[in-house]
């Protein structure tokens, strides 16, 4: 039995499940149609025809060499965010503050960027201590160790410009690392500093 063209189109658009509910005889026939129908239940209806889809933001963790595509209308799960911002030295994750992703999305939107490079997210306390012993400029009780901080930069955005924007947000701590070319933002007390 072949489906009428309209039902076939609805199946391809992921609306087969809604159609099947309205008409029990109109079930998706192929495995691909069933997959599309299932996806539509989990991700909502597709955009209307002629509507430009929301641009994806690509978050790249430099130390882990991992990409996270972020759809502003369908953000990643907490577990996915924890995994991508995990400590690169110990490979351990913690529950990071989900607002860190909001910071990255807001910065990309402000500067019309499609990629944000993360230098550091969560930092395990043991790794933090090791860095301190080696003379690196890290705080004893760094917000990174609590999953409340992110170090990042955007290509083609000068570090000083990104730093000025970060300070205007008044969300917490903002560090300028001009030599290294990134900005630190966290959700601790509002404070400002410069490092290497």
Give residue 37's domain range.
5-43
Q: Is residue 48 part of a domain?
A: no
Q: Is residue 12 part of a domain?
A: yes
Q: Is residue 49 part of a domain?
A: no
The candidate with the shortest Cα–Cα distance to 121, out of 140, 148, 98, is 148
Report phi then psi at 182, rounded to 5. -140, 170
Q: Is residue 52 part of a domain?
A: no
Say what the pLDDT of residue 31 is: 64
Q: How far is CA 3 from the centre of its chain?
A: 40
Say what the pLDDT of residue 136 is: 83
Q: Is residue 50 part of a domain?
A: no
Whole-number Cα distances in Å, 74 to 42, 107, 145, 162, 189:
10, 18, 27, 26, 30
Do residues 33 and 83 both lie within one domain? no
Say what the pLDDT of residue 16 is: 41
- How crowded is the C-beta side of 188, counted as CA atoms within 13 Å? 19
Count of residues in the chain:
196
Q: Is residue 165 part of a domain?
A: yes
Do residues 62 and 95 both lie within one domain? yes
Say what the pLDDT of residue 98 is: 96
Say what the pLDDT of residue 138 is: 86
Do residues 110 and 65 both lie within one domain? yes
Query: What CATH number has the domain bearing residue 145?
Result: 3.30.1380.10
Cβ burial of 173 (10 Å; 0-12, 13-18, 19+) is buried
Contacts of 14 (CB under 8 A, 6+ apart): 36, 37, 39, 40, 45, 46
Q: How many domains does the chain have?
A: 2
Please state the pTM of the whole predicted model: 0.72
Distance from C-alpha of 118 to C-alpha of 66, rounded to nearest angstrom: 10
Do residues 26 and 72 both lie within one domain? no
Region label for 104, one of left (φ > 0), alpha (ψ between -120 and 50) or beta (otherwise): alpha
Q: Is residue 51 part of a domain?
A: no
Do residues 93 and 150 both lie within one domain? yes
Say what the pLDDT of residue 72 is: 78
User: Which residue numbers in the chain have pLDDT < 70?
Assistant: 1-47, 53-54
Beta bridge partners of 152: 118, 183
Beta strands in 46-190 (DSSP E): 57-61, 66-70, 115-120, 149-153, 173-177, 182-186
Whole-number Cα distances in Å, 43 to 37, 61, 144:
10, 26, 32
Say what the pLDDT of residue 1 is: 44
Distance from C-alpha of 123 to C-alpha of 94, rounded to nearest angstrom: 9
């Amino acid at each position: 039995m072949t489906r009428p063209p309209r039902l076939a189109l609805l199946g391809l658009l992921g609306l087969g499940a809604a159609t099947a509910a309205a008409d029990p005889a109109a079930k998706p026939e192929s495995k691909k149609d069933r997959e599309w129908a299932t996806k539509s239940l989990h991700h909502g209806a597709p955009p209307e025809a002629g509507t430009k889809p929301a641009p994806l933001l690509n978050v790249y963790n430099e130390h882990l060499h991992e990409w996270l595509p972020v759809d502003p209308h369908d953000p990643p799960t907490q577990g996915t965010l924890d995994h991508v911002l995990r400590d690169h030295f110990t490979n351990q994750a913690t529950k990071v503050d989900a607002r860190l992703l909001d910071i990255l999305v807001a910065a990309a939107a402000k500067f019309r960027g499609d990629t944000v490079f993360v230098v550091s997210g969560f930092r395990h306390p043991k790794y933090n201590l090791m860095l301190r012993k080696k003379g690196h400029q890290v705080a004893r009780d760094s917000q990174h160790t609590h999953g409340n901080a992110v170090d990042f930069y955007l290509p083609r955005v000068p570090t000083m410009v990104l730093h000025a924007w970060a300070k205007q947000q008044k969300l917490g701590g903002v560090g300028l690392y001009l030599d290294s070319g990134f900005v630190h933002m966290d959700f601790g007390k509002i404070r400002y500093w410069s490092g290497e």
